[in-house]
Chains A and B, each alone.
Chain A
Amino acid sequence: MMKKLVSLLLLAALLCTVLVLPVSADEADGGWDFSEEYPDAEPTGVTINVYNWGEYISNGTEGSLDVNAEFTRRTGIGVNYTTFDTNESLYSKLAGGGADYDVIFPSDYMISKMIAENMLEELDFSNIPNFEYIDEQFRDPDYDAGSAHSVPYTWGTVGLFYNVDYVTEPVTSWSILWDEQYKDKILMFDNPRDAFAIAQMRLGFSLNTTNSGEWEEAAMLLKEQKPLVQAYVMDQIFDKMESGEAWLAPYYSGDAGVLVEENDSIEFIIPEEGTNFFVDAMCIPAGSAHKAEAEAYINFMCDPEIAGANMDYVGYATPETAAKEYLEPETVENPIFYPDEETLRNTEVFVNLPAETSALIDTLWAEVKMGGPGDAAVLIAIIVVFLGIYVAIIIWKKRKHKREMM
């Protein structure tokens, strides 16, 4: 039996290895063959650890370019590629120690937080000549003054999805998310910064305000909205919008394209009050053992051809005009991905907030989602009921015991 089990386990492992092997063999498939322009490099024996968002790189499926494999082929530097789900989990991984990353992809506000805590290396731009392709408007951003620590990877905006079958009036403002007639058909972000940003834009506040009164006012507005909201969700919005279960939802523009393209009744707009503009950028964490190789990787990702092929798969917007010629023209002309300058002027990027403000946001957000102190009473009632049942059972058992003894 034991032998059988071990052999079965080994068989399962073997099966999976067999499945992995043929894949490396046909990596070179697809329309992206650079073997003539760039000869294979000798392996250097160095492997860099790259930490990116999940599903955020072209990985060689369905004829796309396998970006990491191409980098390894051209430079001989290996890539150990792993993924994270939120900026906060990236931060805790690096702050906790025990992970030795060379290239990371945090978003705007996380970059300013990490710079403030000396967690990022300054980049040596002589190793990143392709930085010249980065458009002027993405240089010297608010979150990284002077662009000393980060090179933009993608960018996007937050906008509003709506289903034209049900929402027939023209949508122009965030205030439609507070409209009684769409009760239970509205979705909201399930993370505090993005949810508060919508209320703040409606109120005309800065998204990076440190005035606690303004945060509280925004929280009031969100609490007012809560009875109308069907759910606070992240990626479920795709399913809920597609099936018509929800009619109005704010989300990131980069993921919007597919939804609007595939479904005729779904439209996307950036409301007139303005919106949040976000950037995900490449950085090198402090203490990286292979800084020069990491810079080579960043440089490679900025190569317009590579950036174009990569964004063609990822679906987010590229910060390089030169890369756009490798994308499909419909995508480049699509205002969902590349809104005009006037819309962009009316946007604000998140920066890191002081600790007191962050703590306040967490408290306010918890209040918004839990509905304030009223729920504590329910909790206490439940605990009391359970205690009552427990005590009753004990008393009953004791009595029974006594009766049996007699």
Chain B
Amino acid sequence: MKILSKIYTALIFIFLYAPIFVLIIFSFNDTDTSSRTQFSGFTLRWYERLFQDRYILEALLNTLIIAVVAAIASTILGTLAAVGINRMKRLPKKIMMNITNFPMVNPEIVTGVSMMLLFVAAVSLFGGRSLGMASLIIAHITFCLPYVILSVLPKLRQMNPNLFEAAQDLGCPPVRAFFKVVLPEIMPGIVTGMIMAFTLSIDDFVISYFTSGTTQTLPIYIYSMTRKRISPEINALSTVLFVCIMVLLIIINVRQARDERRAKKAEKERVV
């Protein structure tokens, strides 16, 4: 039984990570035909080309700017909304939750097309000429919002509602009580929501495709390569991103472990 469960775990990990490893291996493939099936020698030239190719890098920069702004904005808006929704009475709360959940179950393409129509109408109303960065950011904030709300609300529900009142009883003004008492309690939910918003925004293709105007994000750029061939530069780029995220995760974990050890040590010393 134990062996079986180990095999099962191994299989799951292979399914999850095999595509990434194939992608990484082929980023070092020395080919002139951009082959994705035949490995013909080791080279670093796709990495070299990647850093010379300003169109890929511009698209990457656009994607990151949009993701950072959309993640921060939707986290702030979503947290405020969750606090408000949590205080509502039963019926309005239910209605509100259904309204916020609707964009999540709505097919992406419908969201994308409807946003494009809205933005085009708005832009022509205000005399603008083209959609672009601003419309992309607004669209991304919109589709990230429900995910933030959904990850913050449960934390608010778990929280003891008397804590906030207790803080006020002890003379803390409401705003300060919110920052000192409520916010630290729901922080894990906020962080999860923010990470989700960030990754959703980086990944998004369909909605960006319709609302991008004359701005290009990385997924759209990659997709436009399909008439010729997707260049191994994209493999190189994905490898760089994968390694960056790995390193960041490792740093976070190491720091957390160190903090925990320190806290334990301090406690022990206090006991002694």
Interface residues of A (CB under 8 A from B): 1-2, 4-6, 8-10, 12-13, 15-17, 19-20, 22-24, 26-27, 49, 51, 53-56, 59-62, 66, 80-86, 96-101, 234-235, 238-239, 242-243, 245, 255, 258-259, 261-263, 289
Are B224's CB and A99's CB within 8 A? Answer: no
B85 within 8 A of A: no
- Residue A16 contacts which of B33, B57, B116, B188 (CB distance < 8 angstroms)? B57
What are the residues of chain B within 8 A of A261 when measuring CB–CB? 32
B253 within 8 A of A: no
Q: Which residue of chain B has the shortest Cβ distance to A101 in the bound complex?
A: B214
A83-B216, A99-B131 are known; give 5 further A-B pairs, CB within 8 A.
A20-B57, A96-B120, A98-B213, A100-B130, A259-B33
Are B61's CB and A16's CB within 8 A? Answer: yes
What are the residues of chain A within 8 A of B32 when measuring CB–CB? 258, 261-262
Are B190's CB and A99's CB within 8 A? Answer: no
Are A62's CB and B221's CB within 8 A? Answer: no
What are the residues of chain A within 8 A of B37 when measuring CB–CB? 239, 242-243, 245
B200 within 8 A of A: no
Name B28-71 residues within 8 Å CB distance of A.
31-38, 45, 48-49, 51-55, 57-58, 60-61, 64-65, 68, 71
Name B204-227 residues within 8 Å CB distance of A.
210-211, 213-216, 220-221, 223-227
B96 within 8 A of A: no
Are A12's CB and B57's CB within 8 A? Answer: no
Known: A10-B68, A242-B35, A242-B38. A19 touches B230 (CB 8 A): no
Closest Cβ of chain B to A336, distance in Å, is 14
- Residue B228 contacts which of A54, A61, A96 (CB distance < 8 angstroms)? A54
Bound form: Cα–Cα A60–B49 in Å: 9
Are A235's CB and B228's CB within 8 A? Answer: yes
The bracket for how many chain B residues form the interface is 35 or more
What are the residues of chain A within 8 A of B220 when measuring CB–CB? 82-83
Are B116's CB and A98's CB within 8 A? Answer: yes
- Residue A20 contacts which of B38, B61, B123 (CB distance < 8 angstroms)? B61
Are A55's CB and B229's CB within 8 A? Answer: yes
Are B57's CB and A234's CB within 8 A? Answer: no
Q: Which residue of chain B has the shortest Cβ distance to A236 in the bound complex?
A: B36
Complex A-B, nearest 3 residue pairs according to Cβ-Cβ distance, in ascending order: A54-B224, A100-B130, A83-B224
Known: A5-B191, A259-B33. A59 touches B60 (CB 8 A): no
What are the residues of chain A within 8 A of B68 when measuring CB–CB? 9-10, 13
Known: A20-B61, A99-B214, A238-B35. A53 touches B129 (CB 8 A): no
Closest Cβ of chain B to A206, distance in Å, is 25
Are B216's CB and A61's CB within 8 A? Answer: no
Known: A242-B35, A258-B32. A98 touches B120 (CB 8 A): yes
Closest Cβ of chain A to B19, distance in Å, is 16
Closest Cβ of chain B to A30, distance in Å, is 10
Bound form: Cα–Cα A141–B221 in Å: 31
What are the residues of chain B within 8 A of A20 when measuring CB–CB? 54, 57-58, 60-61
Closest Cβ of chain A to B52, distance in Å, is 4
Q: Which residue of chain B has the shortest Cβ distance to A96 in the bound complex?
A: B116
Closest Cβ of chain B to A149, distance in Å, is 21
What are the residues of chain A within 8 A of B35 when measuring CB–CB? 238-239, 242-243
B194 within 8 A of A: yes
Closest Cβ of chain A to B31, distance in Å, is 8
What are the residues of chain B within 8 A of A84 when measuring CB–CB? 224
Bound form: Cα–Cα A17–B230 in Å: 24
What are the residues of chain A within 8 A of B53 when measuring CB–CB? 23, 59-61
What are the residues of chain A within 8 A of B64 when measuring CB–CB? 12-13, 16
What are the residues of chain A within 8 A of B36 when measuring CB–CB? 239
B252 within 8 A of A: yes
Q: List 21 A-B contacts (CB under 8 A).
A: A2-B190, A8-B252, A12-B248, A16-B61, A19-B57, A53-B227, A54-B223, A61-B53, A62-B52, A82-B216, A82-B220, A85-B225, A99-B214, A101-B214, A234-B226, A235-B227, A235-B229, A243-B37, A255-B228, A255-B229, A258-B32
What are the residues of chain A within 8 A of B116 when measuring CB–CB? 96, 98
Are B244's CB and A12's CB within 8 A? Answer: yes
Are A100's CB and B120's CB within 8 A? Answer: no
B111 within 8 A of A: no
Are B65's CB and A13's CB within 8 A? Answer: yes
B231 within 8 A of A: yes
Are A1's CB and B187's CB within 8 A? Answer: yes
Are B129's CB and A235's CB within 8 A? Answer: no
Q: Which residue of chain B has the shortest Cβ distance to A69 in the bound complex?
A: B54
Are A9's CB and B187's CB within 8 A? Answer: no
B72 within 8 A of A: yes
Are B55's CB and A4's CB within 8 A? Answer: no
Greatest chain B CB density within 10 A among A10, A22, A82, A235 is at A82
Bound form: Cα–Cα A261–B124 in Å: 51
Q: Which residue of chain B has the shortest Cβ distance to A85 in the bound complex?
A: B224
What are the residues of chain A within 8 A of B34 when measuring CB–CB? 238
What are the residues of chain A within 8 A of B52 when measuring CB–CB? 23, 26, 60-62
Are B198's CB and A243's CB within 8 A? Answer: no
Bound form: Cα–Cα A261–B198 in Å: 44
Bound form: Cα–Cα A83–B60 in Å: 14
Are A17's CB and B244's CB within 8 A? Answer: no
Bound form: Cα–Cα A239–B214 in Å: 32
Are A100's CB and B54's CB within 8 A? Answer: no
What are the residues of chain B within 8 A of A242 when measuring CB–CB? 33, 35, 37-38
Bound form: Cα–Cα A66–B57 in Å: 14
What are the residues of chain A within 8 A of B129 when measuring CB–CB? 100, 289
Greatest chain B CB density within 10 A among A98, A99, A234, A235 is at A98
What are the residues of chain A within 8 A of B210 when measuring CB–CB? 96
What are the residues of chain A within 8 A of B248 when measuring CB–CB? 8, 12
Bound form: Cα–Cα A263–B210 in Å: 40
